[in-house]
Chain A
Amino acid sequence: AQTVTQSQPEMSVQEAETVTLSCTYDTSENNYYLFWYKQPPSRQMILVIRQEAYKQQNATENRFSVNFQKAAKSFSLKISDSQLGDTAMYFCAFAAPNAGGTSYGKLTFGQGTILTVHP
């Protein structure tokens, strides 16, 4: 079974500064995906960034980038130039193919980190 751990229940950052959210995971799978999702007070879960385990290059999406350390099973999210709209709960998540390798069904989520961006 896979587990995802986020050890920072809450983080805060000043607007325009950089913040890093931590995530570790445990799996015996070799082929999998890792994600960061954002959940603002509106409750809708929004995909921020996705990393494929077989790709060594770290994923980047505008102000968001990850530091993927496969051997250490670590997957941190860096938010640069933080904006007030980044205030939300952030979840790290894991997905692996099913037994037949035909689908990616179950997302396993961490406990979340509440990020507050202060003006």
Chain B
Amino acid sequence: ETGVTQSPTHLIKTRGQQVTLRCSSQSGHNTVSWYQQALGQGPQFIFQYYREEENGRGNFPPRFSGLQFPNYSSELNVNALELDDSALYLCASSLVTNTEAFFGQGTRLTVV
């Protein structure tokens, strides 16, 4: 049990809609990173948040946005959903100076 929790576990949305995924980081961790994992592939880095600001971003369009709250929990927002956004979304928490990231169980998003 790593202490990183994500909600919801599964979600079905229609193309064009907007979605918000949530992540509660492990106690004491000040950094949250989000990854997109397509079926049968490795996770791809979306972005990282530290001290409520974006601290690095992968090759994802601006319709992928995030927030980090004072308690270090985080949200991933995706606007104008596309079919290719269907994936497992993983959240990982860590200390900003530490390489060891602890992952949640992910949110499976299906866009129809």
Chain A contacts to B: CB under 8 angstroms = 4, 33, 35, 42-47, 50, 91, 93, 95, 98, 102-112
- CB atoms of A107 and B101 under 8 A apart: yes
Q: How far is the CA of A106 from the CA of B90 in the complex (A)?
A: 13
- CB atoms of B31 and A112 under 8 A apart: no
Chain B contacts to A: CB under 8 angstroms = 2, 31, 33, 35, 40-45, 48, 50, 55-56, 58, 88, 90, 92, 94, 96-106, 108
B48 surroundings in chain A (CB, below 8 A): 103, 105-106
- CB atoms of B42 and A109 under 8 A apart: yes
B55 surroundings in chain A (CB, below 8 A): 98, 103, 105
Q: How far is the CA of A61 from the CA of B92 in the complex (A)?
A: 22
A103 surroundings in chain B (CB, below 8 A): 31, 48, 50, 55-56, 96-97
> Known pairs A44-B103, A44-B106, A103-B56. 16 more at Cβ < 8 A?
A33-B99, A43-B105, A43-B106, A43-B108, A45-B103, A46-B103, A103-B55, A104-B97, A105-B45, A105-B50, A105-B55, A105-B56, A106-B45, A108-B45, A109-B44, A111-B41
A-B interface contact total, Cβ < 8 Å: 72
- CB atoms of A105 and B33 under 8 A apart: yes
Q: How far is the CA of A47 from the CA of B104 in the complex (A)?
A: 12
- CB atoms of A45 and B90 under 8 A apart: yes
B88 surroundings in chain A (CB, below 8 A): 43
A107 surroundings in chain B (CB, below 8 A): 33, 35, 43, 45, 92, 101
- CB atoms of B56 and A95 under 8 A apart: no
CB-contact partner of B43 in A33, A45, A98, A102, under 8 A: A45
A46 surroundings in chain B (CB, below 8 A): 2, 103
Q: Which residue on B lies nearest to A42, using beta carbons?
A: B105
B40 surroundings in chain A (CB, below 8 A): 112
